[in-house]
Amino acid sequence: MPGAGDILRRTIYSPLGAACMSLLPCIDIEPKTPATATVILLHGLGADGNDFVPMVSELQLPASMAVRFIFPNAPAIPVTLNGGYVMPAWYDITEINIDRKIDAVQLIDSAEQVRLLIDRETDRGIPSNRIVLAGFSQGGAVSYQAALTYMQPLAGLLCMSTYFATRDTITPNSANKRLPILICHGTRDPMVPERMGQQAHQRLDAMGYEVQYRTYPVDHAVCAEEIADISQWLQRVLA
């Protein structure tokens, strides 16, 4: 099928590889022609980089956009909320409440690991303002931290079914004060209630960011209507 979803090369980068030492392992999907933009998308708790790979073709982006998609894999760590079970996670969740008690040090460390992936893209010739950072659930919480503190302007921030975990402690970088942000949330989400998405929207609005907020009649998932909205948004911010 034509479009940015044409997979010419699907490479799994490993931190054991000499070319990407210290980087998160990730799945890198190339467009049909040399990439001129990049989307880095972080998965949620217990998933891995493969979780959102099918979305590349579903977005039906024009082939002319030439977008590289990168899907990092979180490390496997014990998660207190799940009885200490070891699973892929960007940070530990120790308690579920209205604000969610988390290991903020681990979240910030994960955001730093994402920053290294952004730096790699600029080293590969993609300007920072052609890079979109995105995340679902836990991945979205890390994306808030990573994007808003990045020292060069990015193209956009996409947050799906997530929350702004560091909203009271973050020190944003002025380079991204005009960062376009799209928040998507399911109105029936039992894992991350929609009020948490609303709180993020309100906080970002108060901080002066350009935010679009979209809701969908789904639970903790991504639906076809949401993917269509994301496609239109990506085409706008990467125009």
Q: Please, what are the domains in the chain?
A: 10-237 (3.40.50.1820)
State the pLDDT at residue 152: 98
Q: What residue has token string 């799945």?
A: 27
The two tokens of residue 132 are 């979109």
Model pLDDT, residue 97: 66
Q: What does the alpha-carbon distance between residue 209 and residue 178 come to, in Å, rounded to a whole number?
A: 6
Enter the DSSP assignment of 2.
-
Strand boundaries in the chain, DSSP class E = 10-13, 26-29, 37-42, 67-72, 76-79, 85-88, 93-95, 101-102, 131-136, 156-160, 180-186, 210-216
Does residue 137 have an active-site annotation?
yes
Which of 144, 192, 152, 151 is CA-nearest to residue 169?
Answer: 144
Rounded to whole angstroms, how far apart are CA atoms 110 and 157?
16
For 136-187, what is each residue's pLDDT tens digit?
A: 999 999 999 999 999 999 999 999 999 999 999 999 999 999 999 999 999 9
- Of 29-38, 95-104, 223-232, the range with the lowest mean pLDDT is 95-104
Q: What are 125-139's pLDDT values in tens digits?
A: 999 999 999 999 999
- Cα first-last separation, the chain: 22
Active site residue 168: no
**Residue 38 in this model has a pLDDT that exceeds 70:** yes
pLDDT of 225: 98
Tokens of 172: 């944003």
Tell whether the model's pLDDT for residue 46 goes beyond 80: yes
**pTM of the full predicted structure?**
0.90
Tokens of 29: 């999907």
User: Within a 13 Å sphere around the CA of 184, how many CA atoms are in the beta-carbon half?
Assistant: 24
Write the pLDDT tens digit of every residue in 71-106: 999 999 999 988 999 999 999 998 776 567 899 999
Nearest to 70 by CA among 32, 37, 33, 112: 37
Query: Residue range 106-115: average pLDDT?
Result: 97
Catalytic, out of 51, 128, 189, 201: 189
161 is catalytic: no
Least confident of 4-18, 22-36, 98-112, 202-216: 4-18
DSSP code of residue 238: T
Query: What is the pLDDT, as a whole number, of residue 99?
Result: 66
Give me the catalytic one of 43, 103, 128, 137.
Answer: 137
Q: What is the pLDDT of residue 98?
A: 55
Please say if the pLDDT value at position 5 is more than 50: no
